[in-house]
Amino acid sequence: MRLLLFLFATLILNSCGTSEIKDKINEISSTERGELSHDSKVFFGNRLFSEKTCITCHAVGKKKIGPSILDIVDIYTKNKADIEAFLKGNSKPIVDTTSAQIAIMQANIDGFLKKVTDEEINAIATYMLHVAELKNK
């Protein structure tokens, strides 16, 4: 039954595409299923990292417009800071804190990440942490 509901909702989402329908489907699908596994969060976070255009400014191991994923995770880990809180706009940046970089980051948080759910933020952070773990092995 859940699968049928999910498939029907997906069909509606793809044919209509309105944000109200997308929000309702996300609400239904997240309440109908359990929490994502670690591997699923990494996969989902990787997808969101591209879809939400994070990849435009952040590469895995080198600085682009913004710092690399490895640099971000390293600094957040050393400072025992919360990447998710930053992505939600609930904490100040601790990486690339020049006024120009802060303005770019704030615009992206206000724009691209405004309608991102807590589950999606968690998936993005999980992906970033996973990438750093793999590179540090």
pTM of this structure = 0.73
**70 shares its domain with 129:** yes
**Structural domain tally of the chain?**
2
46 pLDDT higher than 60: yes
Give the range with max mean pLDDT: 18-22, 79-83, 115-119.
Answer: 79-83
Q: Are 25 and 12 in contact (CB under 8 A)?
A: yes
Closest to 124 in 3D by CA, of 64, 42, 37 = 42
Chain position carrying tokens 């080198």: 62
Domain of residue 61: give its range.
37-135
**89 shares its domain with 60:** yes
**4 shares its domain with 60:** no
CATH for 82:
1.10.760.10
Q: Which helix (H) or strand (E) holds 58?
A: none
> How many angstroms from the chain centroid is the CA of residue 45?
6
**25 shares its domain with 85:** no
**120 shares its domain with 60:** yes
Burial of 128 (0-12, 13-18, 19+ CB in 10 A): buried
User: pLDDT over 90 for what percent of the chain?
Assistant: 50
**15 shares its domain with 68:** no
